[in-house]
């Protein structure tokens, strides 16, 4: 129970931070995404250089993908506008993740309040998908994620 309460407090705090600072959350996501893509681009460049002697075609492909990855990473890091443009894919993925996590929580949790929180996360995941179709505003979507975390955090604490 103590571990669940600690997790609930962490979840609640993260949710509140996202609700209070949605632009900072989006900026952070754009930076983290950009850095991750940068690492992938660098890895592909190294892979291309190492593969060059064994298979020039694969080496060229890796090098091209690596260069494109690095260009995308540099463009994406801290760029909220580009991040927003790429959010369409992530909107649906996040909504699906919330729904799946909520369903998994329904089966994994025993307390009634935790099960209610899991249902709320499912509903918010569905809402996330619906809102994503109509509003491509990432701030609004960040608020929904923050709200989901706050509700789940409360469910884990209680």
> What's the N-to-C CA distance of the chain in angstroms?
10
pLDDT tier at 61, thresholds 50, 70, 90: very high
The residue-averaged pLDDT of 128-137 equals: 73
| DSSP state letters, 97-114 | HHHHHHHHHHHH--SHHH
Can you give the length of the chain in residues? 158
84 has a pLDDT exceeding 60: yes
Kindly report the number of other CB atoms within 10 A of residue 11's CB atom: 21
Higher pLDDT, 137 or 20: 20
133 has a pLDDT exceeding 80: no
pLDDT of residue 140: 77
Give the SS3 label for residue 52.
Answer: coil
CB 19 within 8 A of CB 146: yes
pLDDT of residue 135: 59
pLDDT digits (tens, 9 = 90+) for 85-112: 777 677 788 889 999 988 988 888 788 8
């Amino acid at each position: 129970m103590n571990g669940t309460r600690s997790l609930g407090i962490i979840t609640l705090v993260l949710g509140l931070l996202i609700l209070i600072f949605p632009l900072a959350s989006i900026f952070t996501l754009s930076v983290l995404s950009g850095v991750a893509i940068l690492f992938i681009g660098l890895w592909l460049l190294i892979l291309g250089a190492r593969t060059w002697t064994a298979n020039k075609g694969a080496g060229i492909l890796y090098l091209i993908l690596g260069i494109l990855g690095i260009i995308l990473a540099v463009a994406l890091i801290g760029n909220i506008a580009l991040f927003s443009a790429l959010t369409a894919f992530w909107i649906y993925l996040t909504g699906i993740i919330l729904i799946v996590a909520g369903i998994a929580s329904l089966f994994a949790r025993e307390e009634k309040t935790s099960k209610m929180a899991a249902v709320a996360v499912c509903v918010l995941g569905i809402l996330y998908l619906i809102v994503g179709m109509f509003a491509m505003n990432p701030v609004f979507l960040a608020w929904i994620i923050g709200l989901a975390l706050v509700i789940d955090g409360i469910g884990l604490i209680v």
